[in-house]
Amino acid sequence: MSVETTRLPSGLVVVTDEMPDLETASLGVWVNCGSRNERPDEHGVSHFLEHMAFKGTEQRSARQIAESIETVGGDLNAATGVEVTAYYARMLKADVPLALDVLADILSHPRFDPDEITRERNVIIQEIGALEDTPDDLVFDFLQATAYASQPLGHSILGTPESVRAIDAAKLRSYLARNYGSPTTVIAAAGAIKHDAIVEKVDHLFTDFGEAAPTFRPPATFTGGVHIESRDLEQAHIALALEGLPQRDSSLYSLQVFTNILGGGMSSRLFQEVREERGLCYSIYAFHAPYVDTGMFGLYAGTDAADAQELMRVIVGEMEATADGLTEVEVARAKAQMKSGLLMALESSGARAEQLARHMIIHGRVIPVDEIVSRVDSVTVDTAREAGRALMARSRPAVAVLGPGRLEGAAAIAESLALKAA
């Protein structure tokens, strides 16, 4: 990796990684704010703002924004997260200046036309409705809300129909002015680019970008609890969470190894025991999502409602058995998966640009690949077991169950993990 970083006098960070063999480039603007930065009367405004960025500026209409990139064969998109919002593009190397110009325009000069706001409000409400029709996604919204009850971190990124209807141009402008600014923003690029050319263009185009800094990100508290919702579905969708680790925790890699051994792939314990040996489900997996000051370990499975209790008993048993008895062979396999996944991803300019931005926001520097690999290699059987034991002793579980029939029994079995904290 040929990473270069420049911090402009405004505080705006530009970080690049040139990949000279490519003919294309990926670049974007990553802002250190998301749904967690929303005030109580702003639920859904982060996501709404992301949509409105593409709906017209002082210089371009919504159609002109889309056509400006697609006419040259490029892609333009965005994503709102809990703590970070990203606006990014991929294009041929000759069109990098155009992409930067469009990104600067949509973030510095949005119009927030009332008619566009009305149309996009309806689009977002339709998006919320689509989520309601996708139970294997909806159950994760329930899980997040249960894990971090009555907190911005527990809110759906999309908002609710009621909160979205209350968002107007004034709220959009207030949120934008408060959270979007040079000191909170990273511009990252990878592929067929030159660092100095990117810096020069950014310095010229982002002069109207504000100097705001996030002021509203209250500490998160993992509450745990149970959410059960009966619906006429073919399957019961079950999600379980425990409080994990924050982004900078020294045990993060050990916990990730534990997570991969438990439910990280076809060779994982849960996949082998629950699906291959017992045939209790089609899909089952575990994950860990780290945040600034907390983290969420979770797992998901979809099963027949009649099998839900047996499935949950097996899951709880495998979690305990993995924490007590994971092996050297399993640790080696999990570490190999993590390292290969990292290196394979870095063959993509888009993945590189995203990693550059994420590292700058979280760590204030880009962590070299060799250093990441070294951290993975440092995980041992003992540290992975300890990470698993600490996970189950850290918090009361959060459980979300969505499906037909009575599912309280499965939730009660999941809650038995709370005994580990006693």
pLDDT of residue 415: 79
If we measure between CA atoms, which residue out of 255, 284, 289 comes closest to residue 270? 284
Interval 24-53 mean pLDDT: 96
Categorize the per-residue pLDDT at 236 as very low, low, confident or very high, splitting at 50, 70 and 90: very high
CB atoms closer than 10 angstroms to residue 418: 15
Query: Tens digits of per-residue pLDDT, 276-286?
Result: 999 999 999 99
Residue 290, SS3? strand
Query: Tens digits of per-residue pLDDT, 162-205?
Result: 999 999 999 999 999 999 999 899 999 999 999 999 999 999 99
Burial letters 141-155, b for 16+ CB under 10 A, else e: bbbbbbbbbebbbbb
Q: What are phi and psi of 133, to 5 degrees?
A: -90, 5
pLDDT beyond 80 at 110: yes
Residue 204, SS3? helix
- End-to-end CA separation in angstroms for the chain: 47
DSSP string covering 126-156, please? HHHHHHHT-HHHHHHHHHHHHHTTTSGGGS-
CA distance 23 to 45: 37
Strands 13-18 and 185-191: parallel
Decide if 4 is catalytic: no
If we measure between CA atoms, which residue out of 407, 417, 357, 365 comes closest to residue 79? 357
Residue the block writes with tokens 């909160």: 163
Mean pLDDT of the chain: 95
As assigned by CATH, the class of the 3-205 domain is alpha beta
pLDDT of residue 215: 62
pLDDT of residue 421: 46
Type of residue at 112 = F
**Four-CA torsion 88, 89, 95, 99, nearest 10 degrees:** -40
CB atoms closer than 10 angstroms to residue 208: 10
Q: What CA–CA distances, in Å, run from 65 to 1, 92, 99, 106, 332?
A: 32, 17, 10, 8, 48
Of the residues 18, 38, 42, 50, only one is catalytic, namely 50
CA distance 400 to 237: 8
Residue the block writes with tokens 């974007």: 28
Bridge-partner residues for 243, per DSSP?
296
Pick the range with the lowest mean pLDDT from 129-133, 319-323, 406-410.
406-410
CA distance 104 to 75: 16
Pick the range with the lowest mean pLDDT from 134-148, 163-177, 199-213.
199-213
Which stretches within 157-194 are classed as H helix?
A: 161-165, 169-179
> Which structure tokens are listed for 286?
């575990």
pLDDT beyond 90 at 419: no
More confident residue, 210 or 412: 412
pLDDT of residue 43: 97
If we measure between CA atoms, which residue out of 285, 299, 281, 328 comes closest to residue 414? 299
Architecture of domain 225-421: 2-Layer Sandwich (3.30)
Percent of the chain whose pLDDT exceeds 70: 97
pLDDT of residue 386: 98
Query: Tens digits of per-residue pLDDT, 300-348?
Result: 999 999 999 999 999 999 999 999 999 999 999 999 999 999 999 999 9
pLDDT beyond 90 at 103: yes
Which strand ranges, in their side-by-side order, compose the sheet holding 24-31?
3-7, 13-18, 185-191, 24-31, 85-92, 75-80
pLDDT beyond 90 at 125: yes
E strand or H helix that includes residue 90: strand 85-92
pLDDT beyond 50 at 248: yes
CA distance 420 to 396: 9
> Which structure tokens are listed for 250?
């020294």
CA distance 146 to 151: 10
CA 30 to chain centre: 13
251 CB-contact burial (10 Å; exposed 0-12 / middle 13-18 / buried 19+):
middle
Q: What are phi and psi of 237, to 5 degrees?
A: -105, 120
Q: At what angle do helices 408-415 and 308-325 cross, to 10 degrees?
A: 10
pLDDT of residue 422: 44
> Which structure tokens are listed for 320?
């305990």
CA distance 26 to 192: 8
pLDDT of residue 329: 98
Domain ranges of the chain: 3-205, 225-421
Interval 375-392 mean pLDDT: 97
